[in-house]
């Protein structure tokens, strides 16, 4: 069967957005033309070829004509990072096919990203325009507003352009009920299609008996402030001081807060390929996985992959990460956003090891029933 030709607007980063795009292309037998903004230049990737264009090319019918020299079957928006929104809307109107938007974070509502303030705190999905206006005048929010709306842009204008982009989409696709609820809080007039991303089964834990009563906790993925690096740093300190038989294993890059942290309870395994993670968790005899994010994830591949692999998950009670844990009865959620709450739950699980085993057993039964 001939592959579909699909134009995808996205960002130049990796993470869950890239993983989703790769999976989507395979599942839909799609050949992707990838368009993103890097250093205020348009980058177009097709097959192994990369070309660079000025942002003004969005105003050019000639650029669209080049993109459609071989007809497009679909247009998909994964992300609009760096795209000037007014130009982008005009650009999209030049295509003969409608576009779908996939929601991977909450940029449409919050230019600071992830509802994290410039001081590194979760704002609780603030709705008060006065507060949002003040917050978006600094940090990444200010930069994005200037690049995407203009120097005189305001949070009201930002959300107005984002709303227009969403309204003109054929479908707005969100990967979880939690993501739908968050988006409805800011754009209640829109319809959303809930469509979870596929998560592939991974080999289950090897079930070997452990040599000690030590509780081993895995943390997977790049650590940053919004992913809970401050909370992990505090947790390490508490575990050090209180001498519990617990070890934390980080699989992935540490940010500046954690990279230089030396502690016998904190082991950094470094970068890994995604398909290596089950073997790494098994080799370290991990008992459960910690998702310390302090922002609401829209989906959280890491949470769902851990649960699908039979590892119980501990996380804060918010976002799609908590939704996944509660749906599967495969772990524990604690009140955000203090390391003490994580510590208390870990201490409780250490004193009641059957809790961890029972959670793992429930996940294994669900896995076997599929």
What CATH number corresponds to the domain at position 114? 3.40.50
Residue 152: pLDDT band (50, 70, 90) is confident
Of 248, 254, 260, the C-alpha closest to 284 is: 248
Q: How far apart are CA 68 and CA 74, in angstroms?
A: 11
- In a shared domain, residues 175 and 102: yes
Q: What is the pLDDT of residue 153?
A: 82
Asked whether 280 and 251 are in contact (CB, 8 A), the reply is yes
Residue 210: pLDDT band (50, 70, 90) is low
Q: Identify whether 199 is part of a domain.
A: no
Domain closes at, from 194, 226, 248? 194
- In a shared domain, residues 152 and 259: no
Domain that holds residue 36: 4-194
Rounded to an integer, the average pLDDT of 62-76 is: 91
Of 310, 82, 78, the C-alpha closest to 203 is: 310
Q: What is the pLDDT of residue 61?
A: 86
Tokens found for residue 125: 């999905």
Q: How far apart are CA 284 and CA 218, in angstroms?
A: 9
- In a shared domain, residues 329 and 364: yes
Rounded to an integer, the average pLDDT of 242-270 is: 93
Q: Identify whether 205 is part of a domain.
A: no
Asked if the model's pLDDT at residue 41 lies above 80, the reply is yes
Q: What is the pLDDT of residue 69?
A: 86
Q: Identify whether 301 is part of a domain.
A: yes
Q: What is the pLDDT of residue 226?
A: 94
Element (H, E) at 237: helix 229-242
- In a shared domain, residues 71 and 147: yes
Domain closes at, from 165, 194, 223? 194
Q: Identify whether 201 is part of a domain.
A: no
Residue 370: pLDDT band (50, 70, 90) is low
Rounded to an integer, the average pLDDT of 252-261 is: 90
Rounded to an integer, the average pLDDT of 147-172 is: 94
Q: How far apart are CA 348 and CA 250, in angstroms?
A: 22
Question: Is the Cα torsion angle 330, 334, 336, 342 positive or negative in sign?
Answer: negative
Residue 3: pLDDT band (50, 70, 90) is confident
Q: What is the pLDDT of residue 213?
A: 82
Q: Report the percent of the chain where pLDDT is more than 90.
A: 78
Q: Identify whether 97 is part of a domain.
A: yes
Of 106, 74, 86, 105, the C-alpha closest to 9 is: 74
- In a shared domain, residues 320 and 364: yes
Rounded to an integer, the average pLDDT of 41-51 is: 90
Q: What is the pLDDT of residue 204?
A: 59
- In a shared domain, residues 142 and 98: yes
Q: What is the pLDDT of residue 209?
A: 52
- In a shared domain, residues 297 and 346: yes
Q: For residues 359 and 61, which has the higher predicted lDDT (pLDDT)?
A: 359
Q: What is the pLDDT of residue 200?
A: 73
pTM of structure:
0.92
- In a shared domain, residues 190 and 222: no
Average pLDDT, the chain: 92
- Domain count within the chain: 2
Rounded to an integer, the average pLDDT of 141-147 is: 92
- In a shared domain, residues 61 and 133: yes
Domain closes at, from 130, 160, 194? 194
Residue 65: pLDDT band (50, 70, 90) is confident
Residue 106: pLDDT band (50, 70, 90) is very high
Residue 218: pLDDT band (50, 70, 90) is very high
- Residue 235's CATH number: 3.40.50.2000
Residue 305: pLDDT band (50, 70, 90) is very high
- In a shared domain, residues 316 and 363: yes
Q: Identify whether 348 is part of a domain.
A: yes
Q: For residues 218 and 2, which has the higher predicted lDDT (pLDDT)?
A: 218
Q: What is the pLDDT of residue 194?
A: 98
- In a shared domain, residues 42 and 141: yes
Side-by-side strand order, sheet with 99-102: 49-54, 41-46, 30-38, 4-9, 74-77, 99-102, 171-174, 193-194
Q: Identify whether 204 is part of a domain.
A: no
Q: What is the pLDDT of residue 207?
A: 53
Asked if the model's pLDDT at residue 208 lies above 90, the reply is no
Rounded to the nearest 10 degrees, the angle between the axes of helix 319-328 and helix 177-186 is: 140
Secondary structure, 3-state, 148-162 = HCCCCCCHHHHHHHH
Rounded to an integer, the average pLDDT of 142-157 is: 90
Bridge partners of 12, per DSSP, are: none
Q: Identify whether 151 is part of a domain.
A: yes
Residue 184: pLDDT band (50, 70, 90) is very high
Q: What is the pLDDT of residue 138?
A: 86
- In a shared domain, residues 166 and 244: no
Q: How far apart are CA 162 and CA 148, in angstroms?
A: 10
Asked if the model's pLDDT at residue 34 lies above 60, the reply is yes
């Amino acid at each position: 069967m001939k592959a579909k030709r699909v134009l995808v607007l996205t960002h130049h980063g990796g993470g869950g957005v890239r993983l989703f795009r790769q999976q989507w292309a395979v599942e839909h037998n799609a050949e992707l033309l990838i368009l993103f903004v890097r250093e205020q230049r348009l980058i177009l990737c097709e097959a192994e070829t990369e070309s660079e264009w000025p942002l003004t090319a969005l105003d050019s019918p000639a650029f669209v004509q080049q993109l459609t020299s071989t007809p497009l079957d679909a247009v998909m928006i994964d992300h609009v990072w760096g795209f000037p929104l007014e130009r982008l809307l005009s650009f999209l109107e030049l295509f003969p096919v409608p576009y779908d938007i996939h929601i991977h974070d909450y940029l449409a509502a919050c230019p600071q990203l992830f509802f994290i303030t410039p001081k590194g705190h979760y704002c609780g999905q603030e709705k008060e325009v006065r507060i949002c206006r003040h917050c978006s005048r600094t940090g990444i929010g200010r930069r994005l507003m200037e690049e995407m709306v203009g120097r005189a842009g305001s949070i009201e204008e930002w959300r107005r352009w984002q709303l227009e982009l969403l309204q003109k989409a054929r479908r707005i696709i969100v990967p979880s009920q939690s993501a739908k609820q968050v988006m409805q809080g800011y754009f209640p007039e829109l319809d959303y299609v809930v469509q979870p991303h596929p998560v592939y089964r991974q080999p289950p834990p090897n079930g070997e008996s452990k040599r000690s009563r030590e509780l081993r906790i895995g943390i997977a993925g790049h650590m940053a402030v919004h992913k809970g690096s401050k909370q992990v740093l505090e947790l390490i300190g508490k575990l050090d001081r209180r001498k519990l038989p617990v070890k934390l294993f980080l699989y992935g890059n540490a940010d500046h807060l954690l990279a230089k942290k030396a502690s016998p309870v904190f082991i950094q395994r470094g970068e890994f390929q995604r398909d290596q993670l089950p073997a790494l968790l098994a080799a370290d005899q991990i008992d459960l996985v910690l998702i310390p994010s302090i922002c609401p994830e829209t989906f959280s591949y890491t949470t769902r992959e851990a649960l699908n692999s039979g590892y119980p998950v501990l996380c804060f009670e918010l976002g799609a990460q908590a939704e996944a844990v509660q749906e599967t009865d495969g772990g524990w959620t604690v009140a955000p956003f203090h390391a003490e709450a994580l510590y208390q739950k870990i201490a409780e699980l250490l004193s009641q090891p059957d809790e961890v085993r029972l959670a793992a057993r429930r996940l294994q039964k669900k896995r076997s029933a599929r």
